[in-house]
Structure 1
Amino acid sequence: MFRSYLRLLLFTFGLLAGVQVPGLVKDYSQRVEAHMLESREALAGFQETAERFFNGDLQALVRHYRTSDDPVFNSDANSIESLVIRNQLLENEWQALQGSWASRSWHVLVQADPQLREETLKGYSYQILLVPEAIGWGIASGFLLAFLVESVLLGIGWVILGGRRRAVKESWR
């Protein structure tokens, strides 16, 4: 009986943990989009300058600033370059989040930008989304957790008992 309750408890815990994945992916996607729009806005003025004088090439604008004798321009070159690098990172993250729900989930769980993932986790509030992805993640996580823990416990029991089964006494007679 205890084993059945343990299995049920593990399944429930896995289910509740699994349904969090789509919410986390959604929050991460919204955070990436917000940062990307902010990054585009920060680069807009420099992009206009690059369009006017360098055929839209921001790297050419940065090189022009670096070759200037003015220390202010040299400093600004570093600032612009960091904005360009950040914008490219966010654009790449955004592109990675445009695939199927499975690829988005995999990206957020395994390949996401550590800083953005940490920021998302700090601001994340637990939620239960009733969408097919959440239901799938919940059932799969619950089953997998219950199966793995029960298998490990049965394996430990098998090792301790030396692979033998204990004789079960029939007490009902």
Structure 2
Amino acid sequence: MFRSYLRLALFALGLLIGVQVPGFIDDYSKRVEAHRIEAELGLKGFRDTAKRFFKGDLVALVGHYQASADPVMRSDAQSLGTLVERSAFLERESQAMQGPWYAQVWHLAIAADPALMDETFAAYRYQVLLAPQAIAWGIACALLLAWLLESLLILGGMLIGVGRSQKVQKRHWR
């Protein structure tokens, strides 16, 4: 009886964990998009200058700033270069989060930006979405967690001899 309740509890835990996945993916995507828009707004004036003098090439504008004899311009070149790199990075991150769900999950698991992940975790509020993908994630995680933990418990029990009859134990010790 206890084993049945344990299975139910594990299933419920897996279900609750699983329904969080789509919400977290959505929050991360929105965070990336917000940072990307902010970076683009910060570069707007520089993009206009690059369009007028360098055919829209921001890297050429940064190079021009770096080559300037004015120390203020050279100092700004580093800041502008950082903004350009950050904007390009956020654009790549945004593109990665536009793919199919499995590509998004893979990206979050393997290649997501740690700072953006930390921001998302810090601001994430647990939610129970009743969207089809959340239900699917919930059931899949629930079944996987229940199966894995029960398999580990059964294997552990087998290793220490729980559930064996006295006759079987005597036969193996001869």
TM-score (norm 1): 0.92
| Structure 2 CA distance for aligned equivalents of residues 17 and 80 of structure 1 | 42
Aligned residue identity for 1:92: R
Contact 1:50 1:58 in 2 (8 A): yes
Show the 5 A alignment for 1:1-173. 1-161=1-161, 165-166=164-165
| Structure 2 CA distance for aligned equivalents of residues 126 and 66 of structure 1 | 47
| Structure 2 CA distance for aligned equivalents of residues 102 and 92 of structure 1 | 17
Contact 1:33 1:94 in 2 (8 A): yes
- The runs of 5 or more residues in structure 1 that have no matched partner are 168-173
The Cα of 1:161 is off from its aligned counterpart by: 1.0
The Cα of 1:106 is off from its aligned counterpart by: 2.4
Aligned residue identity for 2:123: G
| Structure 2 CA distance for aligned equivalents of residues 104 and 130 of structure 1 | 20
The Cα of 1:165 is off from its aligned counterpart by: 2.6
Deviations 1:79-124 (A, max 9, x none): 1000001101110010001111222222223321111010011000
The alignment covers a number of residue pairs equal to 167
| Structure 1 CA distance for aligned equivalents of residues 66 and 55 of structure 2 | 18
| Structure 2 CA distance for aligned equivalents of residues 18 and 111 of structure 1 | 21
Tell me the percent identity.
Answer: 56
What CA RMSD, in Å, does the superposition of the two structures yield over aligned residues?
A: 1.5
Aligned residue identity for 1:136: A
Contact 1:29 1:94 in 2 (8 A): yes
Aligned residue identity for 1:146: A
Contact 1:101 1:133 in 2 (8 A): no
- The runs of 5 or more residues in structure 2 that have no matched partner are 167-174
| Structure 2 CA distance for aligned equivalents of residues 71 and 86 of structure 1 | 23
Aligned residue identity for 1:17: I
Aligned to 1:170: none
| Structure 2 CA distance for aligned equivalents of residues 36 and 119 of structure 1 | 15
